[in-house]
A and B are shown apart, each in its own frame.
Chain A
Amino acid sequence: MGEGRKFLLIKDKRGEDIFPNVIFIVINILFFSMLMLFVFKASTGAMVYEQAYSKQIALLIDYSKPKTDIKIDFSKAIAVAKDNKKTSDLVKIDDVNKEVIVTLSSQGGYAFKYFSDYNVETEMVDNFLVIRVKEKGEVKNE
């Protein structure tokens, strides 16, 4: 008889089979671990950060005056994007529709409109996102 087969026949002090109890406990542990993993993934997932960063950037653009440079710590977004295997084009400014689009995964992103009529450029410098707010019509990378 193999070792595995022997294990199925192990009995506790009262002479009851241990195997079904072990299976029962393992299934429960697996189930609750999966739930915990899901909650953790959801709370640190791209969806939450995409919305937060796109709104933050759009409000900062609207709050700014032309010829303003804003530097945002983007390290958390970069870490989330890396977890989702995305390394480039994390932030886009749609100058036609006046939208800030933040994409931290390959499953889409989040877009938020701003109302100011400025030329806006973004650039990643290390772990920081630099937003340059310029007058409309001002030459890019001036």
Chain B
Amino acid sequence: MRLRDHLRKMAVRLWWWVRQTTGDAAYENYLRAANRAGCSSDLGAAPLSPRDFYLDSLRRRYSRVSRCC
């Protein structure tokens, strides 16, 4: 039982890491940051939609050196 819990915890942790590393959870992170900031300052009056956030994140990522040789 304890081993199963331990394994499940590890699997959850690994899944979280994969989602964070690949950017799959980027929008959720953004919404959390928006809530923290109270939808103020440079986040704008309302948070971006998933599609707008995705396009915005791509534009910013590929406007600078993002991949090395």
A and B associate in one complex: no
Could you list which residues of chain B lie within 8 angstroms of chain A, going by C-beta atoms?
none
Could you list which residues of chain A lie within 8 angstroms of chain B, going by C-beta atoms?
none
